[in-house]
Structure 1
Amino acid sequence: MTFLPNYFLVLCGWVFLAGVPLNSYVLLITSCHVERTASTVWFLNRAVSDLIFTVCIPLRLTFIFFLQVDWARRLSSTITSLHMFSSAFLLMAISIHRCFLAARPEWAQKRCTPCLACWVALGTWALSAGFSLRCDDLWESLLPPPSTSMNFQVDPERAKTAVTIQFLAGFLVPLALSLIPTFCVIHTARLGRNRLIQATQPLKILLGLIPTFFVCWLPYHVFYFLQLSATHSWTLLEIESSFACILSYVNSCLNPFFYLTMEEEFLRYWQRARNRHTTNHPGLEPAN
């Protein structure tokens, strides 16, 4: 498929041009304008992870198409794994926090402080780094020969173990631990009208973030298992790896839209900004 490199380059270019400004904008608003809460701490850390991931797109393109060197391949693979694990773990934290907000709002607002959220976020980064160091050579070492250098060979048994750990810790377990609190939020929303507003607002962001993350990262894990089975042709594997890579980058571009359009803190920021603009507008009288 001779069109594949050009197709891959164009899509990566669009994702880079969209993802870097969007995630930078989320970081700017979260750091300077939005009230600091436990929720904003989660979104700030996820935006940092998405920004690092999208900023490193040129690194991946450079070593795949131009400079096929092992250090660039390892660095890109480590960043990919770090982003995947950190995003999954932070998504679990968001789901559990929103479950507490829906079921026990007073207790959650008192106990789930921004300071506690910062410590939990630091723990997720440390845990993600530990898992990433075990998978620092997997992604590119399993790519088809035309897309990578032949100077590095990965041990098959080590690859199988790392792929299994990566699938369980970076996909299956986070999926379960994200869906269970979401179902609890849905159950809370059905308890009565007095809790309906408190429960449905956290549910909106979860219904946007959870399906998007796991749908976009599912081909990543499927590609690994197909590569280990060695039953596909190199051309087909090249297409599959490119598709999985693009989807993982697309997820980093979609997250800012969910933050800005569904999250309460960001919506309150937009409301305050609009009210200031309306109040300062000449010719308008203040509302009663």
Structure 2
Amino acid sequence: MDLSFFGFKEDYDNYNYSYNYNYSNDSDDTPHEASVSPHQSICLKKVFCVSLLVVSVVIFLLGLCGNILVIWISGFKMKKTVNTTWYLSLAISDFVFCAFLPFNITSMAMDEWIFGQFMCKFTPCVLFLNMFSSIFLLVVISVDRCVSVMFPVWAQNHRTVKKASIVVLMSWLLAIALSFPSVIFRDVGSHMGRTTCHNKYNSIQHSHVIVAVSRFLAGFIVPFIVIVICYSIIILRLRTNRMTKSSKPFKVMSSLVAAFFICWLPYHVFVLLELNHQNHSSVLTAGLQICTALASANSFLNPVLYVFMGNDFKQKFKSSVLSKMANAMVEEGRTTSRYLSRSSSMDGRASTHI
């Protein structure tokens, strides 16, 4: 998989020329090109590269089709609720990412970037936009569930689609802001007859470390802590109120969170390892490529989880895929509403006795 597309490489790529090759800020980025023969792709001659290419195509097809279904169901076939607002936004994020995968697939197959400087800067932003928007929405949903359990009466009176839409918009704006470094540091260069789209961090001191660490903190550590706290509170509250059966509707959300962290944790680990240039090796390069594919796979897992995490899984072959996806998305909303109604009734009886 073309690492330059995902923002891994800093002024170098995974070919056999010098690892520390740097492009000068005031040059034309084409040193000693006069006698270099045109670049020829060797990806299709390598089993590992062809395997990653096939995986990317599968992710593209499954992700595009699956997220279109989720967008259609949650956006046009279901009543608009707070829950469908969350899932619709997640599906849009994954769909946009999958829609840009053909640029990566083409670049990977050709071993070259042919789409110009604008797309070189814009396309990698989509990866990080997907990463940040997804994790921010997962955090928002976790907080929403926690508030609904801890303060059911308040949640029943104040959880509205309009407010959920505003929160989604704020999450997207924050994700866009954190994805912007790709616009600043991405650039097109040329070496040994090969045009590359790469990171160019040498313009600002320590910029590579700052970007990598900030993405790790904002895109993984802080959200992970918030989500763990929220779900711990939810589990304790459900056990306290003897409502362990009500934990079933949280399995969809729990699966989404688990899938996100399983897909993205290896990515962050290898990006941090990459900061130490001395650790650069064939193992690190292969690990980065595999982790990139794993991170991409998160974009099509959500629709799959909607299907297989719904109620009556054993009857899935007797119902349509569309019905299963709709059932999975409304499952949490129905049980949450029942929980809120029950809690409100209990609070009402308590106030009458007092």
Normalising by the smaller structure, the TM-score range is: 0.7 to 0.9
Q: Distance in 2 between matches of 1:147 and 1:116?
A: 49
Q: Which runs of 5+ in 1 are unaligned?
A: 272-288
- The two structures, once aligned, show a CA RMSD in angstroms of 2.8
Helix, strand or coil at the partner of 1:231: helix
The answer as to whether partners of 1:50 and 1:83 remain within 8 angstroms in 2 is yes
Aligned with 1:10 (options 44, 54, 62): 54
Distance 2:64 2:307 in 1: 15
Tell me if the contact between 2:70 and 2:303 (Cα under 8 Å) persists in the aligned partners.
Answer: yes
The CA distance in 2 between the partners of 1:75 and 1:82, in whole Å, is 11
Runs of 4+ in 1 over 6 A off after TM superposition: 137-141, 145-148, 268-271
1:179 and 2:228 correspond? yes
Deviation at 1:161, TM superposition (A): 0.4
Amino acid at match of 1:243: I
Asked if 1:27 corresponds to 2:71, the answer is yes
Structure 2, unmatched stretches of 5+, are: 1-42, 312-324, 332-354
Preserved CA contact (<8 Å) 1:70 1:149:
no
- What TM-score do the two structures reach when normalised by structure 1? 0.82
Describe the SS at the equivalent of 1:149. Answer: strand
What corresponds to 1:266 in structure 2?
A: 326
Does the C-alpha gap of structure 1 residues 236 and 111 become closer, same or farther in structure 2, counting only changes over 3 Å? same
**Does residue 1:109 correspond to 2:156, yes or no?**
yes
From the two aligned structures, give the one with the greater helix fraction.
1
Q: Report the 3-state secondary structure (helix = DSSP H, G, I; strand = E; otherwise coil) of the residue aligned with 2:278.
A: coil
* Contact kept in structure 2, 1:99 and 1:184, CA below 8 Å: yes
CA contact (8 A) 1:4 1:239 kept: no
Q: CA deviation at 1:12?
A: 0.4
* Structure 2 CA distance for partners of 1:257 and 1:157, relative to 1, 3 Å: same
Give the whole-Å Cα distance in 1 for the aligned partners of 2:284 and 2:194: 11
Distance between the aligned counterparts of 1:64 and 1:148, measured in 2? 12
Aligned equivalents of 1:170 and 1:140: distance in 2?
A: 24
CA shift digits 1:257-285 (9 cap, x unpaired): 223444689327899xxxxxxxxxxxxxx
Taking a change above 3 Å as real, the CA distance of residues 35 and 24 of structure 1, as seen in their structure-2 partners, is same
Corresponding residue of 2:84? 40
CA contact (8 A) 2:80 2:161 kept: yes
The 1:46/1:191 distance shift into structure 2, 3 A limit, reads: same
User: What is the count of residue pairs matched by the alignment?
Assistant: 266
The AA in structure 2 aligned to 1:228 is: L
Instruction: Assess, with a 3 A threshold, how the Cα gap between structure 1 residues 36 and 197 changes in structure 2: closer, same or farther.
Output: farther
1:240 Cα deviation after fit: 1.6
**1:275 — aligned with what?**
none
Map Cα deviations across residues 138-189 of structure 1 (whole Å, 9 max, x no partner): 7999xxx999727763226101001111000011111111111111111112
Q: Which amino acid aligns with 2:157?
A: K
**Structure 2 residue 300 is the aligned partner of structure 1 residue 257:** no
**1:170 equivalent in structure 2:** 219
Asked if residue 220 in structure 1 is aligned to residue 267 in structure 2, the reply is yes
Q: How does 1:151-170 map to 2 (within 5 A)?
A: 153-155=200-202, 157-170=206-219
Give 1:87's match in structure 2, choosing from 113, 131, 134: 134
After superposition, the Cα gap between the structure-2 partners of 1:269 and 1:117, relative to the gap in structure 1 and judged at 3 Å, is closer
On the 8 A contact 1:216/1:251 being kept in 2, the answer is: yes
Distance 1:105 1:197, change over 3 A: farther
After TM superposition, the score normalised by the length of structure 2 is: 0.68
Checking the alignment, whether the CA contact within 8 Å between 1:19 and 1:252 is kept in structure 2 is yes
CA shift, 1:107, in A, is: 2.5
